[in-house]
Chain A
């Protein structure tokens, strides 16, 4: 237990970088849901494609143009290409169904179909062997810059070891949030998207083309997911199956934050990341009935227990408080 407490700051830092990734994925869910009312379970697959495309581009151009430029080019190509795939998915799979007034449930199943196709596509294109890519800012570069306390691609700050890539993740989250804020508040297209999210009927009456707005939302969300994928590419094996677990966590974060609430999604993601990391660091325990349990392997389950508790408590509060509405009317 003492060891656990000693590593707690370390675990929290790890949790924040994990959580920032979840938050990015969750933002994709929120953007699509707000504009087009679709719960797109294929978000994780967009992330997977983004990561694979990024790695492919970096592998291809790192030699001729140098690592730094290759990362930049990789991010750009990954964002644009995955955004295009997202747009294609909307046009081919979602739009025809939305035009036929498909129910929420139908659209969820369609998004499952899209995930299946994209995952298989990822496998056919890139095979089953995991690839990886070097950190954006490798440890030796830092060493050359005169920084001490560098081990591998990690940096020691006080008592806490931080992977250099974690900084990029947090920076990416901040830049994405700022970018989205600017886009939704300062540009015509962004404002039109917000109008659709707030009141689709009156937005349509005012001449906002709803299907084009949904297209933009899908492209944007796929692009954000791709960025998330590219940025964690150096930290974990890049493979066609990587989208499943990450997509699920993004979905959970978005739900925790209240599915249409971007700020909630960010908090949801960070909370989930920290909870997972902290549980992962707990020592082995004796649990009645189960025997010896290593909490790290129950991370996912515990995260869901917490999610359920949050949802049920929130629901109970809303239902039983005085002056509350009991039924959604």
Chain B
């Protein structure tokens, strides 16, 4: 199991956003967390990757507990993510956006070296650029590398976030509603990209509204409702679960 949560609980004021969520996600698979609006999916993501400090409970990555770690420390351990409300850097070009992720292990060093532009700096930068280009090509944005990210269409910004996250060479990729706002062609392209990422041996965890996409992609699905885990298992099983139908599928279709 790559990522595990143990009784994860998150309270905001008096509101219980997550309640005793215990889950485990298997290495090398595509897993999904689903649920109706306000079910706590994004909160679950934020609590896992250090954006929120959980009120109670544990998050473990591999064998390491994540509690109390800051997002950048979690990123360094091998977790990358995208954002439902997009956190791209609009005034940076696409290639610069992706390079920020690719240069992760070097951010801490080289402040002075960069000012003097020592030879090591240049070669590292070229390597980061090549890696960034690889991921931009893979998601189909390679020809727009020098455009400002703010000029991209919404759907392309989503894909850019995936390229950027992949440039950090993660072991786990967390996608927060990757298909929201995408056209059906873009959606299909997205599924190809996600499968491709899984085939490289990277574990994928996604939060998604689009049930069709989840059912086609995911090997394992967990369902949240009002912050509580109500079902988990392979997509076909979850789809047939009466609780899930009542809470989610029933009102959706």
Contact = CB atoms under 8 A, between A and B. Distances in A.
Q: Do chains A and B touch in the complex (CB under 8 A)?
A: yes
Contacts of A323: 10-12, 52-55
B51 A329 contact: yes
A326 to B, nearest CB: 6
Contact of B51 (A320, A322, A327): A327
Interface in B142-193: none
Interface string A301-329: 00000000000000000001011111101
Contacts, number: 26
Interface string B53-64: 111100000000
Contacts of A326: 50-53, 70-71
Contact of A325 (B52, B70, B85): B52
Q: Give the interface size class of chain A.
A: under 10
Contacts of B12: 323
Interface in B44-85: 46, 50-56, 70-71, 85
Contacts of A329: 46, 51, 85
A70 to B, nearest CB: 54
A323 B11 CA distance: 6
A324 B53 contact: yes
Contact of A322 (B55, B70, B85): B55
A326 B53 CA distance: 7
Main secondary structure of the interface of A (DSSP, over half): loop
Contacts of A325: 51-52
A324 B55 CA distance: 8
A326 B51 CA distance: 6
Contacts of B55: 322-323
Which of A322, A323, A324, A329 has the largest number of chain B CB atoms within 10 A? A323
Nearest to A327: B51
Contacts of B71: 326-327
A324 to B, nearest CB: 6
Contacts of A322: 53, 55-56
A158 B53 CA distance: 54
Contacts of B53: 320, 322-324, 326
Contacts of A320: 53
Interface in B68-125: 70-71, 85
A11 to B, nearest CB: 40
A297 B46 CA distance: 49
Contacts of B11: 323
Nearest to A321: B53
A320 B70 CA distance: 11
A327 B70 CA distance: 10
Given A322-B56, A323-B11, A323-B12, 16 more contacts: A322-B53, A323-B52, A323-B54, A323-B55, A324-B52, A324-B53, A325-B51, A325-B52, A326-B51, A326-B52, A326-B53, A326-B70, A326-B71, A327-B71, A329-B46, A329-B85
26 contacts: A320-B53, A322-B53, A322-B55, A322-B56, A323-B10, A323-B11, A323-B12, A323-B52, A323-B53, A323-B54, A323-B55, A324-B52, A324-B53, A325-B51, A325-B52, A326-B50, A326-B51, A326-B52, A326-B53, A326-B70, A326-B71, A327-B51, A327-B71, A329-B46, A329-B51, A329-B85
A-B pairs with lowest CB-CB distance, top 8: A323-B55, A323-B11, A322-B55, A325-B52, A324-B53, A327-B51, A322-B53, A326-B51
Interface of A: 320, 322-327, 329
